[in-house]
Every structure is written in C-alpha cells, then in structure tokens.
A and B are shown apart, each in its own frame.
Chain A
Amino acid sequence: MELVTPEIGLVFWTTISFLILLGLLRWFAWKPILAAVSERENSIEKALSQADAAKEEMARLTGENEALLKQARAERDAILSDATKVKNQIIGEAKTAAQKEGSRQIELARVEINSQKAIAMADVKNQVATLSLDIAEKILRKQFEDQQKQDELVKELLREVKLN
C-alpha cells in the first residue's frame, strides 16, 4: 500500500519542477528548435518547388526553342525551294530568250546571205554575159575576116534551111 500512496512532498516538488522545466525548455529549446526545423522544412520545400518550376521553365524553353528551330528550318526550306524555283524559272526564261534570239539571228543571217548570194549571182551573170558577148564578138570577128568563109557559112546556112 505504501507503494501506491503518493507522498505530498514529491508531488509538490515534481509539479513545481516540471512546470519550471516546461517553461525553461519551452523558452530556450522547443520554440527555437521547432521554429528552426519548420523554417528549414519550409526553405527545403520552397527550394524543391523552385527547382520544379525551374525544370518546368527549362522544359518550356526547350520546347519553345525546338519550335523556333523547326519554324526556322521550315522557313529556310521554303526560302531554298523558292530560290530554286526562281533560279529554274530564270534559267528557263533565259534559255528560251537565248534560243529565240539565236534563231532570229540565224534567220537574219540566212536572209542576208541569200540576198548577197542573189546580188553576187546577178553580178556574175552580167559579167558572164558581157564576157561571152565579148568573146563571141572577137570569135565572130576572127572567123569572118576573110570573105570566103562568110560566103561558105551563108551557103551552109541556106542549105540547112532548104533541107528543113
């Protein structure tokens, strides 16, 4: 029974001492410790959420960059294909123009040549005619220098006519 009979002295001292201990520890230990711990927890949580946000931002930026890159690539391709088209067009145009010009030049040349040829031919014909006349005159003169020969020829010609 003595074991379960609380002694007033010990109850008194325990209560007072415990309350004082509670006050001292509350003021000097628990408050600063719990404040520091929760502050640290908050800062860790904040750091983690910041890291998450940074990661998200990073992903967003990367995505944006990729999109930009894709766009740039597409633009480049478009520009390149446009340029090729334009080049081909220009080349084609130049080709047709050159061909047209060439054929026109050739045509002109041919016309010129033909006309020159005609002139030359006409000249040659005249020369030949004059020459032939000259030659024929000279031959005739030579042949009909003597009278006998002339008579002979006349006689021949007359005979031929008779025969006809």
Chain B
Amino acid sequence: MAIGSILKSKFFKYSGIYALFVVLWAIPALAFSQGKAGSTDGKPYDPKEAIFEHIGDSHSWHTFGKSAVPLPVILYTDKGVEIFMSDKLHEGEVYQGKNYNYILEKDKVKIAGSSGKIDTAKKVWDFSITRNVASMWMGMILLLVIFISVSSSYKKRNGKAPRGLQSFLEPVILFVRDDVAIPNIGVKHHKFMSLLLTLFFFILINNLLGLVPFFPGSYNLTGNIAVTLSLSAIVLVVINFSGNKYYWKHIFMPEIPLWLYIIMVPVELIGVISKPFALMIRLFANITAGHIIVLSLISLIFIFKSLAVSPASVVFVVFMDTIELLVAFLQAYIFTMLSAMFIGIAVQEHHHE
C-alpha cells in the first residue's frame, strides 16, 4: 500500500512533527492575510464579522487571499431539488436558478422575489456541501487512510510489536479501550468500542485540523452546533437502544413513594435528553471559544491598525494554540468518556439505589 508506506516512512514522521510546529508559528501571519480579505474597502474593520465568518459555515472554501474553492450548493424547495456550484452565488447578488431566483445573504441562500428582495414566505432547505461538510469529509478520508494503513500493518506484522504509525496510535486505541470503555461499561464494552473509537478520533482529528490556520484546515467543525448535535443525537440513540430493563425501570418505576412519580419521572425523562445535550454544548462551546479567542487576539492587530501590537498578539496566540492543542485532545476524551459513562449506566446489570 503506497499511502501506508508513506505514512510509515521516517521522513513523514519527522516532517509531520516539523509541520506541526511550523503551523503553530505560522498562525498569526496567515490569519493576518485572512483578516485583510475579510475587511471590505472603506469600511472599518469589524472583528465580530471576521470572527463569525470563520467560526460559522460557508458555501465556499476559502483558500488563500481572495481565492476560494467553489462547492456544490444543493437546495430543496417546494419545486424540487436544485444543484449548482457556489461560485455563481455572490453576496447580495441574485442568481437565476432553474426553479427560483436565489440570493446569498450572510452566507445563507434565500429565495429572491421578482423585485430582487428576499422572499421570506418561501422556505428553502439547504443541503449544500458547505465548507464544513467538505472539510469533514477530508478529515474522514484522512482517518480512513490512517486507520486502514494501521490495520493493514497489524495484518502484516501479526503478533509482532507495533511499529511506526501503528505504535503511535496503538496506545491511543488502548487508552480508549482500557481507560474509557472498560472502566465505564465493563464486560459489555466490545459492542461499543467501534462507536467510542470513531467518536474519539473523529472529534480529535477535526479539532486538530481546525487548529491548522490555513487551507485546508482552520475550519470550525467540532465547534459547530449542528455537528455536535448530530454526534450527541447518535449517542442518545445508542444509549437508549442499548438500555436494559434496569435503565428503563430507573426512569419509569424508580423505587420511591408513588406520589413522587409526578416529579421524578419527568426529571428522569429530562435527564435522558440532558445527558447528550450536555455533550453537545460542551464540545461546541469549548471549541468555538478557543477559535474566538485566537481570532480575537489576531484581530487586535487590525483593531489597533498597528504592526507593533503583533508581538503581543503572537505570544498570546501561540500560548492559546498550545492550550487549544490540549483542549483538542481533552474534549475528544471527555466526549468519548461521558458517552461511555452514559452507555455504561444504561447497560449496567445491578442497580444500586
């Protein structure tokens, strides 16, 4: 496997470590150029706009300077599905589609009426391949390449000590198994290992790629509420579908006086939702907050309109990025850990009241 051999080569290992440091140090410089692109002529620099543009989603994938990769826009309206590329859409301009005329307002596709104004009566379902979707797929492909190559090296070096990328990732996989799954779920952990490992590495790789300050990184996927919602919804489904009779008994027939049922059953039902809800909010808030802080520090340079501020900004941004690197691992761990804990509670055999 050619990819596998590249990933396992010494050159890749060292260049990867080197690249990580280059990336960390290059963040301010590249964000500098991005910030410039965000400010339009004449208008004063608005850090809020620049920051929200970054942490939000977009129909185009910004690369360098003013160039961007166009992405497919998939719209579903009452007249059916419509697909076109995003480079046809521009902020504030009307695009004549097959079914409707569309207008882009704050990176959201809206249906334009005959007068060129937004027609709020018509609903449009946007299933576009946005920047976040595209970068998520990139991350997924990366995960697949890495882990299929690792898996193949297990086949090749059956029963031998791990090597290269395999030896780098094996402790992480074993950590998820021995320190996350087994202590929380116990003997039934085998069924949930795939979910927990996928959750962990999916969140981790997107956290890390989100820290890379230039194309194709620097997206805010795990800090997007839609993504964390989807992940925690999957966890919610898994928890409740694997819940045994003790779990349901605890919710609907707790061993308490009957009159307390009026309070306890709704509370327990809220608990069913609130557990994954907490997962969703925690990941979203942590990652988004990190991105906002880094971008705010960069924005200081533009707010003060002075290059003299940049040393301070750089120092703080490097500091923040180091913390964000920790947070990237920490949040992946916490999400997986809490998922495992909730699953563990649901599949627990003996219930201690």
Contacts and interface: CB of A to CB of B under 8 A. Distances in A.
| A and B assemble together | yes
Given A3-B52, A18-B202, A11 B226 contact: yes
Given A10-B224, A11-B229, A14-B226, A19 B55 contact: no
B284 to A, nearest CB: 8
A12 B225 CA distance: 13
Taking each of A9, A21, A26, which has the highest tally of chain B beta carbons within 10 Å of its own beta carbon? A9
B267 interface: no
Contacts of A36: 154-155, 158-159
Contacts of A22: 194-195, 198
A28 to B, nearest CB: 5
Nearest to B125: A8
A163 interface: no
Interface in A12-52: 12-15, 17-19, 21-22, 24-26, 28-34, 36-37, 39-40, 43
B136 to A, nearest CB: 6
A21 B202 CA distance: 9
A25 B197 contact: yes
The secondary structure that dominates the B interface is helix
B144 A25 contact: yes
Contact of A37 (B125, B174, B202): B174
Contact of A33 (B106, B147, B284): B147
A31 B229 CA distance: 27
B229 A25 contact: no
B225 A31 contact: no
Given A3-B55, A18-B198, A10 B133 contact: yes
A7 B74 CA distance: 13
Interface stretch (B230-238, B306-314, B316-324, B326-334): B230-238
B293 to A, nearest CB: 15
B154 A8 contact: no
Given A8-B125, A37-B173, A14 B136 contact: yes
B325 interface: no
B127 interface: yes
Interface residues of B, number: 49
A33 B194 contact: no
B128 A26 contact: no
Contacts of A11: 226-227, 229-230
Contacts of B136: 13-14, 17
B49 interface: no
Interface string B197-214: 110011000000000000
Contact of B198 (A12, A15, A30): A30
B226 A6 contact: yes
A5 B224 CA distance: 9
A9 B127 contact: yes
A146 interface: no
A2 interface: yes
A17 B158 contact: no
A140 interface: no
B82 interface: no
A9 to B, nearest CB: 4
A8 B197 contact: no
A19 B195 CA distance: 9
Contacts of A5: 225
B234 A37 contact: no
B289 to A, nearest CB: 11
Contacts of A17: 133, 136-137, 140
Contact of A10 (B52, B125, B132, B234): B132
B130 interface: yes
5 contacts: A8-B126, A14-B231, A18-B234, A21-B143, A33-B154
Interface of B: 52, 55-57, 74, 106, 125-130, 132-133, 136-137, 140, 143-144, 147-148, 150-151, 154-155, 158-159, 170, 173-174, 177, 193-195, 197-198, 201-202, 224-227, 229-231, 233-234, 284, 288
